[in-house]
Amino acid sequence: MAGPKVAPWTEIPRQDGRRFVVTGANSGIGFETAKALAGRGAHVVLAVRNATKGEEAAAQMPGSVEVRTLDVSDLSSVRAFAADVGDVDVLVNNAGILGVPEGQSADGIELHFATNHLGHYALTNLLLPRLTDRVVVVGSQSHRSGVLDLDDLDWKRRGYSPYGAYAQSKLANMLFLAELQRRLTAVGSSLRVTGGHPGSTVTAITGNTGNALKTWIGSWGHGLVGMPAWKGALPTLFAATMDVPGNTYVGPHRLREMSGWPVPVGRSSSASDPELAKALWVASEKLSGVSFPLA
C-alpha cells in the first residue's frame, strides 16, 4: 500500500548574512551541504582534517567559503578550532567514519566514538556561547541497531565489531541531540538542536574499512540503491534551515527511510531513553573535559 504523497523539497531558504560551520565538508554529505548553503548566500566554514582537500572542495563551491583545519577525533584540534573560529549561527556536525579497523584516537578513545560523537560533543559545547541559532546532528539509520555500553566504549570486553562500533556512535549522536535540547530548554536558551540522516546515499564513507570485500560491498550496495549525495544531503539542509522545533529529526520519506524527500521521522526506543542520554552526557564530559557552558 502506497504511503502519503510527499512533495519534493529542494528550495533552501536564503541564508544571507548567516555563518555556518560544516565538519567533514570536503566530500559526500558535508560537501553537498556546504555547497548548497554557500549557494543560498551563507558564509560557510569548511572544517576539514585535510586542508588541501578542503581547498579543492572550496574551489568547486559558489559564494563565500573558507577552509579551516579540524580533526574532530582529536580533542586538542577541536579546542584549537573552537578557540579561533569566532561567532557561528549554525553548527552542522557532519564528519564521520564507518566500519574502520579497530583503533584509538590521539586521546585513547575508540575511533568511531571519538570521531562521530565525542569530538562533536566537545566542539558543540565549546561553541555554544557563540552560537546564535542551532546545532545540527547528522545521524544514521544504523542508530537503531546500536547498543551503547558505557562500561565498554573501547570494545575490549565485547570484542571489536567495526559496524557495531559505528552503530553505537550513531546511537550516541541521537542521545546527544535529545539531551542537549533538554539542557538548552531547561536554561531558557532559544538555541535549538535538530538532526537529519541521509538514508542510503552514495558517498565515500565506506572506503576506509581496511577490508577490500567489505569496502566493495558497501560501495556497490549504495551505488545500486542509494541516492546521489546532493539528495542525501537534503535532510541535513532541511534540519539546518527550516523553522522546525528543537529535537526534530529529519530523514527520507520512503520505505525504511532509505530514499525520498526530507520529512520529520522517528527514532529507536534506545535513542529516546532520557536516562541513557544523561548517562552518556556524564561519560562524555569526563572523557573530553568539556562541560555544558550555559548552566
Give the catalytic positions in this structure. 166
Supply 141's cell numbers: 539509520
Pairing of strands 249-252, 262-264: antiparallel
Supply 268's cell numbers: 529507536
User: CA nearest 196: which of 153, 250, 141?
Assistant: 250
What are the distances in angstroms from CA 81 to CA 45, 46, 139, 210?
A: 11, 12, 23, 29
* Residue-wise DSSP of 32-49: HHHHHHHHTT-EEEEEES
Residue type at 129?
P
Burial of 60 (0-12, 13-18, 19+ CB in 10 A): exposed
Give me the residue label for grid cell 550496495: 221
What are the distances in angstroms from CA 242 to CA 228, 239, 257, 258?
A: 22, 6, 20, 21
Please state at what angle helix 162-186 crosses helix 274-288, rounded to 10 degrees. 100
Give me the residue label for grid cell 558505557: 150
Residue type at 268?
S
